[in-house]
Structures are given as C-alpha cells and as structure tokens.
C-alpha cells in the first residue's frame, strides 16, 4: 500500500487529508474526541514535513444539505487545542471561502473544509457527480492522504474518487487499522475468539458466515443473542428478536457444529420490564425468560463464561456491546468483556463504533488493548472478508 513516504518531499506542498471527525456531540460539546485524537499522528507528520494541510471530514448525516447543527466548528476548535496550532475553518466545502482559506495557507498550517457531506455529490450514487466534486477538491492540493478509516468502506468522492486524481497514500491511522485488523483476521494466533454483540443479528450475517470458516469461538451477546436463543427453541419474552432470521441462525448453528467452531451463548440474562435506566430488573436463566420481560444484558454466569473463554484465547476481536451499557444496571456484560480483553494475554482488537465508545465510557485504559478501531462499519466489513474500495484504490 502507498504510504506518505511514497509522496516524496512535501515541503510547501498542499496535502488534502480525509479524516473521520464524526464525533458525538451534546449541543456543541464533543463528548468523545477519540476520532480527533486518532488523526493527530498523520496531521503532525505532514506539518513536520512542511506541508500545507487541508482536511476534509464529515459529521452526522446532513444528507447533502447545509445544516448548522452538523457544522465542523466544534471539531475545528478541539483539533486546534490538540494540535497546539491554528486551524482555519472554511465556511463551505469547495466554494469561495474554501478557496480563499486554502490559498491563504502557509507551510505548517491547517485548514478544515466545512462538513463534506453538506455537498450532495459526496455520497452520490452517480459516479459523474462524485467525480465532479473530486475534481473541485483536487484543485486544492498536490497530493492526497486517506486517513479516515471509518469511511474507507464507502465509494465516496472524498474517499475513493479523489484518490484516482492525485498522488495518493494511506495515512498512519489507516495503515495501523489495516495492519491490526488483518492480523486479527487473516492469520490469527490461535485460539481465535470473536465476540459479537449489538442489537441486530441481520447487521452481522455476513460476518458470522465468514467467521464460521475462520474463528475457533464465537461469543454472542447483545440484542442479537435473543435470535440465537430463539433458534435453539427458547422463548425470549419481550427481548429484541428478528423472527425472520431464525432459520438463518439455525443453519449457522449447524455449520458451526460441522466446522468445529464453538458458539458461546448467554446462559443467563439481566431482564427488565422496560427499556429504561431506572427499570426494575432481575437475573433470569436464558432458557426461561418470562413473557413480560426483555433481556437487556448478559447475566453474571454468562459474564464469567465469556471472560474465561476470552482468557483462553490468543487473538480476540470484539464488535458490539453485550447489553445497554449506557445504563449502569445493564453495563456488566460489556464491562466483563472489556476487562477480560484488557487483562488477557492476547492480541486484542476492539472493532470501533459502540464497542470503542464503551471502552472509553466505562473508564478502561485504551493502552491495555492492542488496537481500538475508529471505524465500526469498516472493521465489520474487514471481519466479513470484503474488499474496501477506499483501501483498494490506495494499493500499489
């Protein structure tokens, strides 16, 4: 894969960088700046090389419209604090203010274009429209660096089309992500355990199908576990259930048995009458969930079993929480998985999205994990064995 080194001497050159600054906001306050911090090594590397850095990023889903609540202004402020250098925020994407902002850049300075998704061409399915935006962006720079891992699975103007128009390279974050995730999926040290959670089994069908040929153990928690329990003939009360996926899951259980892959499901769950932080809850056996209750976390026995399985593994990949970790009463399962991974003697990869947010929210030291991905969807597609267009376009 092409790296920043392959771009040659960058002093005085303008470098366009695609970062992923899709951070959670409370009003205009950033509640988790993990993705901004993850972008710093690449930006500092380019600034140290004397480049004029022009950053593109998105925030939320403005759907091609200019929406003030999705402005990158809070990101520009936080990036400036973390970099310790001024960050000039353009008022548009490729308009007059963006042009003026980019032209005013000096060596070692940073400009941030306004939310790239304010322009409908960014996410257009029409290749000609995407190319039109990519050509406008290409006029801003001499080279392009892809460092937004959270979007490399998307064929978008600032991710895919732009890389075909300028000398291009992968940033330090994207290189680290690909190296770590491929280490966990292509040639893992065994035993290889994968922990899957989150709400819907349908979101992870492709991942499960791929892992049934690669993993030694699949630990299933979160809302998706109830479809597995139903597939085993258990009633799941008011728990989240995808009834239409039960036959598929039954087939997966048979395939796992035939392939010698161990499927580990909850043996008990923390159940409540309602989805609420203050809901009255109780621990019940997974094969005896009352009709009026819903499972909102894996139970204490399950937490012990999952922790023991993780402790026995040499490679662990995790994608998706075990329960509603945002509510203290239903955070135990997610905490147990994170603790076992952080303390284990294994190569541990946390697959972005809610799992990465949980690690930070629950107060774990990020350095105790081998790698915490910044891209939920992208890491899932790598686990699924898919080719990522934003990566393929950068390969030699």
Give the CB-side neighbour count of residue 141, counting CA atoms within 13 A.
33
Indicate if 353 belongs to the active site: yes
Q: Which of 99, 200, 339, 386 is catalytic?
A: 200
Task: Tell me whether residue 352 is annotated as binding.
Answer: yes
Considering the candidates 14, 18, 35, 230, report the single residue annotated as catalytic: 35
22 in a known ligand binding site: yes
Q: Which of 353, 375, 376, 390 is catalytic?
A: 353
Phi/psi of residue 79, nearest 5 degrees: -65, -40
* 197 known ligand binder: no
Radius of gyration (Cα) for the chain, nearest Å?
22
> Helices 353-361 and 34-48, interaxial angle, to 10°?
100
353 is in an annotated binding site: yes
Do residues 149 and 356 make contact, with C-beta atoms less than 8 angstroms apart? Answer: no
CA distance 156 to 378: 14
Is 275 annotated among the ligand-binding residues?
A: no
Q: b/e for 350-361, b at 16 or more Cβ within 10 A?
A: bbbbbbbbbbee
> Rounded to an integer, what is the distance from CA 178 to the centroid of its chain?
12
Asked whether residue 244 is marked as a ligand-binding residue, the answer is no
**Residue 319 is assigned to a ligand binding site:** no
Buried b (16+ CB within 10 A) or exposed e, 379-392: bbbbbbeeebbbbe
Q: Does 154 count as an annotated binding residue? A: yes
Whether a cis peptide bond, with omega within 30° of 0, leads into 191 is yes
- Is 58 known to sit in a ligand binding site? yes
Q: Is 155 annotated as a binding residue?
A: no
Q: Is residue 17 within 8 Å of 42, Cβ to Cβ?
A: yes
241 is in an annotated binding site: no
DSSP calls for 33-59: -HHHHHHHHHHHHHHHTT-EEEEE---
Active-site option among 34, 64, 377, 385 = 377
Q: Yes or no: say if 111 and 53 are a contact pair by the CB < 8 Å rule.
A: yes
| CA 82/CA 331 separation, integer angstroms | 30
Ligand-binding annotation for 95, yes or no, is no
222 is in an annotated binding site: no
Q: How far apart are the first and last CA of the chain?
A: 5
Q: Judge whether 375 is annotated as a binding position.
A: no
35 annotated ligand binder: yes
Specify whether the CB–CB gap between 134 and 161 falls below 8 A: yes
> Is residue 35 annotated as part of the catalytic site, yes or no?
yes
Any idea which residues carry the catalytic annotation? Answer: 35, 200, 353, 377
Cite the annotated binding site by residue number: 20-22, 35, 58-61, 117, 154, 204, 295, 326, 352-355
Cite the annotated binding site for ATP by residue number: 204, 295, 326, 352-355
Cite the annotated binding site for substrate by residue number: 20-22, 35, 58-61, 117, 154
């Amino acid at each position: 894969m092409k790296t920043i080194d392959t771009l040659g001497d960058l002093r005085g050159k303008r470098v366009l960088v695609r970062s992923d600054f899709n951070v959670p906001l409370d009003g205009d306050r950033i509640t988790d700046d993990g993705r901004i911090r993850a972008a710093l090594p690449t930006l500092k590397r380019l600034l140290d090389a004397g480049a004029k850095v022009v950053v593109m990023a998105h925030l939320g889903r403005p759907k091609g419209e200019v929406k003030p609540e999705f402005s990158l202004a809070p990101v520009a402020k936080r990036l400036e604090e973390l970099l310790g250098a001024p960050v000039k925020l353009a008022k548009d994407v490729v308009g007059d203010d963006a042009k003026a902002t980019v032209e005013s850049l000096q060596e070692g300075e940073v400009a941030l274009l306004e939310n790239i998704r304010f322009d409908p061409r960014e996410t257009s399915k029409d290749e000609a429209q995407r190319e039109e935006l990519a050509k406008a962006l290409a006029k801003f720079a001499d080279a392009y660096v892809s460092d937004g891992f959270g979007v490399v699975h998307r064929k978008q103007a600032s991710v895919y089309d732009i890389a075909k128009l300028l000398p291009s390279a992968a940033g330090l974050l994207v290189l680290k992500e690909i190296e770590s995730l491929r280490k966990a999926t292509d040639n893992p040290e065994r035993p290889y355990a994968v922990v899957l959670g989150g709400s819907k089994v349908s979101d992870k069908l492709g991942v499960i199908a791929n892992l049934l040929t690669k993993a030694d153990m699949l630990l299933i928690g979160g809302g998706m576990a109830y479809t597995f329990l139903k597939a085993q003939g258990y009633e799941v009360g008011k728990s989240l259930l995808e009834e239409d996926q039960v036959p598929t899951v039954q087939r997966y259980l048979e395939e796992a048995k035939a392939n010698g892959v161990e499927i580990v499901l909850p043996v008990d769950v923390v159940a409540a009458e309602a989805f609420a932080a203050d809901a009255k809850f109780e621990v019940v056996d997974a094969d005896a969930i009352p009709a009026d209750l819903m499972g909102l976390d894996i139970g204490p026995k399950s937490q012990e079993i999952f922790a023991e399985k993780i402790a026995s593994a040499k490679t662990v990949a995790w994608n998706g929480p075990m329960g509603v970790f945002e509510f203290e009463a239903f955070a135990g399962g997610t905490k147990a998985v994170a603790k076992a991974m952080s303390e284990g003697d294994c190569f541990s990869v946390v697959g972005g999205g809610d799992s990465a947010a949980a690690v930070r929210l629950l107060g774990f030291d990020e350095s105790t994990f081998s790698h915490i991905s910044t891209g939920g969807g992208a890491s899932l597609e790598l686990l699924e064995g898919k080719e990522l267009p934003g990566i393929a376009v950068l390969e030699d």
